[in-house]
Copies of this chain bind each other. A is one copy, B any other.
């Protein structure tokens, strides 16, 4: 897997921390420490998933499309992973071998169950939870 999931969560947390003010890709890129164009590409994915929306022009930028309390990590996860499996299975095992012929279907079943468990756990945290974790961390420090 790539770091797009982590970056996407970072972006959404930033948007929530910005209290309804549109955030420019340049400002976000400054916090993530990368390129604005990269951020805009990520925002495109998040917008497609209905998690953010963007306003063009001066004073524009990105906003959460719905309350942070109603965006969980699994929403973000699905937005960035699309349909690709997180645990890939090797291609073209030998069809003349009983194990080779059947292993993919068996693995797919087990791996999907495992990924489902991962998604369930991700569904327990919202962007709002994350921001409050960050806030309390900041207060301690």
Q: Given the known A-B contacts A97-B30, A110-B130, A122-B114, are A3 and B89 also in contact in the complex, defined by CB atoms under 8 Å?
A: yes
* Partner pick for A138 among B13, B98, B111, CB 8 A cutoff: B98
Q: Flag A55-73 by CB within 8 Å of B: 1 or 0 each.
A: 0000000000000000001
* Partner pick for A93 among B10, B93, B111, B138, CB 8 A cutoff: B10
A10 vs chain B, min Cβ distance (A): 5
Q: Flag A102-116 by CB within 8 Å of B: 1 or 0 each.
A: 110111011101111
Whether A37 sits at the interface, judged by CB under 8 Å, is no
Q: How many copies does the complex hold?
A: 2
Whether A17 sits at the interface, judged by CB under 8 Å, is yes
What is the interface of chain A mostly: helix, strand, loop, or mixed? Answer: helix
**20 contacts across the A-B interface (CB closer than 8 A):** A1-B1, A3-B89, A5-B87, A10-B100, A10-B103, A14-B97, A17-B99, A30-B94, A33-B94, A86-B87, A98-B138, A102-B138, A103-B130, A106-B133, A110-B130, A114-B118, A114-B121, A114-B122, A116-B121, A118-B121
| A interface residue numbers (CB < 8 A to B) | 1-3, 5-7, 9-10, 13-14, 17, 30-34, 73, 86-94, 97-103, 105-107, 109-111, 113-122, 125, 130-131, 133-134, 137-138
